[in-house]
Structure 1
Amino acid sequence: SYLIYLLQKTEERSVPIAVRIHKTLELADDKFYVITCGKAGFKNSKNETSLVSLRLLEGTRKVTQAVYSRKYNLHVELSKPDGTYGFRVKSCFAFNKLNNREALIDETGCPVNSGVITPFTYDDKKGQADAQLKMFRFPENSEVHFQCDVGLCKDTCPEPTCDSDGSQSKPLVTNEGVLLAATSVFVLDPSEAPLVQELYEDDGTIRPSWLLWLCIALGVLFLIMLIINIFLCSAMTCACARTEIIEKEPSIIEDYDPYRSWHGSQYGSR
């Protein structure tokens, strides 16, 4: 078993590994390593770390379980864009655990198969790029991993010019480095589509929105009922205490009443 550490702020995952010469003995030649995986990034003009992320979206919602043959957006995003660097997506492919591989976008930034994925459209101000993907799966298992190279350019990058057959007339030049972005999803059959209803967005909000308001309304009603029950219980307790006092007072008076007519007494009446 392995102990994996997750850093919430940067979404980095680390695992310590020990390479031992002997199975049970600790020797001086043993080596210890910590392997860390996380989002790739770079320093922008404000000396801030800009991270690159790859997601599969349905509308604005991140998808971790996709439906076979349904269309989604393959979304690439740079955090904290400042206009200093442009980017272009290239060399995208999908693979599974058995290392079966399917090319999506070639090195020039054009689709390999236009029936599976469209060319990326870019919004340089927001630092975003989107391509429409028709979901597919490998026959061996349902998990599919996506990986793309994100090339950086100073200021702006040239637009890929792709022909109808998927080729490009001029090369795509990104001379400020290449970053790696990846994501994974599980692909389900269309018959299982109703099961793919995620309740949370990435920012922690609940979907659908009416479910959140229903929970709030039920919580408020529960709080009101709790306050009413406490008030009623307190009132009933006070009423019971007053009744007990009233019932006991006549018995005390009866014990000391000098004018009461006792049975068999000669002073009972005058």
Structure 2
Amino acid sequence: MSIKVAFNSSFSGAIHARDFRTPACMVHGDGGKVVTLDLNLGAQRGSPDYCGLLVNNRTDERSIPIAVRLHKTLELADDKFYVITCGKASFKNAKNETSLVTLRLQDGSRKVVQAVFLKPYSLKAEISRPDGLHGFRVKNCIVFNKSNTSVPLIDDGGCPVDKSIISPFTYDDNKGYATAELKSMFRFSEGSDVHFQCDIGLCRGVCPEPSCNGGQSGPLTTEEGVLIASTSVFVLDPGQAPLVSELCEDVGGVRPSWLLWLCIALGVLFLIMLIINIFLCSAMTCACASTEIIDKEPSIIEDYDPYRSWHGSQYGSRYSLNGPPQHPKGYTSGGSTMNSARSVSSHSDHYAIVHSRPGSRYKNRGPPSHVGSHYSGK
């Protein structure tokens, strides 16, 4: 950022970034009427040339507060303070939207930051959100370098100063842009950096057309105000390697082109894989669906059948009604243990016999036992 401070008389004080008095952030007047302070916008916090730069990430604006001291050392009540902002020019259109004004050098539709010496280019001024109620005209275009050597390109009437360098701007008010053709790229002898700067005048409705058919053109009337747009490029010799490799541009798509096709191929493969995964998951869901089976322990009371005979059991047979059952050796009847239905008292009107089946949970606990209970009838 290059800040110029102009005075009505000679100045011998100091100009510095507020709260930073380091050599990189301060300059002293030499008695002249103009003092220039150069600040490094790329300095990182903590570095010797950092001067308290404020960056707005939303609008990409960079601001710096500066102090103009009348004395080189002392701080006086008459000292002045300013905030200098470097960023994109904008205005509020009829729809109350923020419309940005930009200027760029283009090769076809691609933005150029490194131009080739003697190659033709186009200079494009653009309003980001045209509303149909505001027109604009480009005027007072200049080019300059770091040493402040400047050359006019477009005058105050919107006409080329030298038509062998640049053509008049042609406008498309509906789309909000204007272009002028550079016959061949130029440069300064002091260095490779070239800065373009133009005034963008706004009008209510249709702006007057520039009169560039010869003679002295009059100034364009832009009653809605004037904004400043600028851009910078590095001019390289033909065949010289670019200083920065450009892969992606603001305009013109993706560079190199094979990167775009690679992204498209990967996207198609991803969609195919997604469809296959959905199909497989659906098939597995149908195959793995099963009903829940509850393993219920059979009831020994409900399953009792006095006429059913299980293998290895001599009790509960239908033949027990024809005579007393044969008891296994070592078992006797009496007490509260009933060995058959025949052992129940003749006065009993209720009884229950519980059998132990082979394979049940009582299998390994000893010989089957029979429990009977009787109630004396009264």
Amino acid at match of 1:175: E
Aligned to 2:205: 155
- Aligned to 1:201, the other structure's residue is in SS state coil
Aligned pair 1:14/2:63, yes or no?
yes
Amino acid at match of 1:159: E
Any stretches of 5+ residues in structure 2 without a counterpart? 1-48, 270-378
Q: Could you tell me whether the CA contact under 8 Å between 1:85 and 1:153 is conserved in 2?
A: yes
1:166-190 deviation line (CA, Å, top 9, x unaligned) = x455552222211111111110011
Amino acid at match of 2:230: A
CA distance in structure 1 between the aligned counterparts of 2:61 and 2:252, rounded to whole angstroms: 19
Q: Could you tell me whether the CA contact under 8 Å between 1:66 and 1:196 is conserved in 2?
A: no
Aligned to 2:159: 110
1:111-146 deviation line (CA, Å, top 9, x unaligned) = 011111000000000110000112100000000111
**Structure having the higher Rg:** 2
Aligned pair 1:140/2:190, yes or no?
yes
TM-score, normalised to structure 1's length?
0.70
2:92 to 27, 35, 43: 43
Correspondence 1:1-270 to 2 at 5 A: 1-2=49-50, 3-17=52-66, 34-133=83-182, 134-163=184-213, 167-168=215-216, 171-192=219-240, 198-202=246-250, 205-214=253-262
CA distance in structure 2 between the aligned counterparts of 1:176 and 1:219, rounded to whole angstroms: 48
Amino-acid identity (%)? 65
From the two aligned structures, give the one with the greater strand fraction. Answer: 1
Q: Could you tell me whether the CA contact under 8 Å between 1:67 and 1:190 is conserved in 2?
A: yes
Amino acid at match of 1:62: K
Q: Could you tell me whether the CA contact under 8 Å between 2:114 and 2:242 is conserved in 1?
A: no
CA distance in structure 2 between the aligned counterparts of 1:63 and 1:51, rounded to whole angstroms: 19
Amino acid at match of 1:135: M
Aligned to 1:253: none
Q: Could you tell me whether the CA contact under 8 Å between 2:137 and 2:158 is conserved in 1?
A: yes
If asked which structure has higher relative contact order (CA below 8 Å, sep 6+), I would say 1
Q: Could you tell me whether the CA contact under 8 Å between 1:56 and 1:63 is conserved in 2?
A: yes
Count of residues paired in the alignment: 217
Taking a change above 3 Å as real, the CA distance of residues 187 and 47 of structure 1, as seen in their structure-2 partners, is: same
CA distance in structure 2 between the aligned counterparts of 1:99 and 1:195, rounded to whole angstroms: 23
1:9 Cα deviation after fit: 2.9
Q: Could you tell me whether the CA contact under 8 Å between 1:84 and 1:154 is conserved in 2?
A: yes
1:143-162 deviation line (CA, Å, top 9, x unaligned) = 01111011111101111121
Q: Could you tell me whether the CA contact under 8 Å between 1:67 and 1:193 is conserved in 2?
A: no
Q: Could you tell me whether the CA contact under 8 Å between 1:95 and 1:146 is conserved in 2?
A: yes
TM-score, normalised to structure 2's length?
0.51
1:8 Cα deviation after fit: 3.5
1:68-114 deviation line (CA, Å, top 9, x unaligned) = 11111101001111011111001101001111111100111110111
- Aligned to 1:190, the other structure's residue is in SS state coil
CA distance in structure 2 between the aligned counterparts of 1:95 and 1:60, rounded to whole angstroms: 24
Moved more, 52-61 or 1-10: 1-10
